[in-house]
Structure 1
Amino acid sequence: MKILFIQTGGTIDKNYPKTNAGYAFEIDEPAVSRVLEKSFIGFEYEVVSLFRKDSLDVNDQDRSVLKAFLESTEHDKIIISHGSDTMPETASFVGKIPGKTIVFTGAYLPERFKESDADFNIGVAVGSVNVLTEGTFIAMNGKLMSPESCFKDAVSGLFETKEI
């Protein structure tokens, strides 16, 4: 089995700027590469950086580029790192792509931070993509959810499932 990891940006990939002045973050190299290198994994993988944006800056043009890439790739097991603020919107936009299992994940703190949830969320995404059949999902906070049935709670910051 081979998993394709796609970086789109978000907090998971953020790092301090390399300049001496400023407080802003910048999107760094894919965090998933560092996580997988230190893990005892039993699968092959490839990492592609499609774009590096904070999720608040991701627009429908970016989503169209992502969807076209997903439709054209030969890979059928795909994990996408994405910022949590607009993850459900992007995952819903991508929708179900026949023959593909797609899992979006991210982190609340950059992977480079000691207390980050990045390793855990990537692990949940990897476990999920191994057992799920086709569809698009979100793996955050130890939960696996459909993009249409979840949201990021504005108070807690956690992903919750909508009441139907």
Structure 2
Amino acid sequence: MTIQIFTTGGTIDKAYFDALSEYQFTQTIVPKLLEVGRVTLAHKVETLFQKDSLELTDNDRARIRAAVTASDSRGIVITHGTDTMTETAAALRGIEGKTIVLVGALSPARFAESDAPFNLGMALATAQIAPSGVYITMNGTVFDAFAVTKDRANGRFVSLEPSA
């Protein structure tokens, strides 16, 4: 199985430039994370764009959906900013025959204490073994992408209570 990884930006790919006192996007760090993690799983990495998820548009989400649909891979990982990850997941609803995993980080992967490498590893594992559907892997948990929210106050993702 070959896992298709699409990068779209988000904190996972941000770099801090002290002179500018802000985060900016440079080249995706995902290939380096895979190399450092000694990942031998067959994979392909394609950058769709590098944006903060708060700047994503409906057209961007349509582009992600088209890329996922066109991919020959059954296992798909999408790196994404955490603020609108669930909105993009909703745009991927109904794609049959694929395990789609959105993943991000709460601190840039270039930081020593980032959650990015662990989250990416979780996403790769989920893409290999989970049934078809859309998932989010954050904080050591695999979430149903349609039953999760970002708890900004506590810096983590949490499952939503099932509706009665």
Shorter chain as denominator, the TM-score bin is over 0.9
Which amino acid letter does the alignment assign opposite residue 82 of structure 2?
Answer: S
Counterpart mapping for 1:99-114 below 5 A: 99-114=97-112
**Number of corresponding residues:** 162
TM-score, normalised with respect to structure 2: 0.94
Counterpart-to-counterpart distance in 2, 1:25 and 1:112: 11
Counterparts of 1:106 and 1:96 in 2: how far apart (Å)? 22
Would the aligned equivalents of 1:96 and 1:134 in 2 still touch at CA under 8 Å?
A: no
Matches for 1:10-159 after TM superposition, within 5 Å? 10-17=10-17, 21-159=19-157
Give, in whole Å, the separation in 2 of the partners of 1:26 and 1:118. Answer: 17
Alpha-carbon deviation of 1:145?
Answer: 0.9
Other structure's SS at 1:25 match: strand
* Inter-partner Cα distance in structure 1 for 2:68 and 2:137: 18
Report SS of the residue matched to 1:78. Answer: strand
Equivalent residues of 1:89, 1:147 under 8 A apart: no
Where in structure 1 do 4 or more consecutive aligned residues deviate above 4 Å? none
**d(CA) in 2 for partners of 1:6 and 1:69?**
8
Secondary structure of 1:130 counterpart: helix
Aligned to 1:3: 3
Shift of 1:38: 1.4
Identity over aligned pairs, percent: 40
Q: Which runs of 5+ in 1 are unaligned?
A: none
> SS at the partner of 1:95?
coil
| Unmatched segments (≥5 aa) in structure 2 | none
Following superposition, the deviation at residue 153 of structure 1 comes to 0.9
Cα deviations by residue, 1:18-38 (Å, 9 ceiling, x for unpaired): xx7411211222222111111
Deviations 1:105-139 (A, max 9, x none): 01011111001000100011111111112111100
Distance 1:16 1:98, change over 3 A: same
Residue type of the partner of 2:93? G
CA deviations over 1:27-52 (Å, ceiling 9, x no partner): 22222211111123231111000011
What do you get for the CA RMSD once the two structures are aligned? 1.3
TM-score, with normalisation over the residues of structure 1? 0.94
Partner-residue secondary structure (3-state), 2:9 = coil
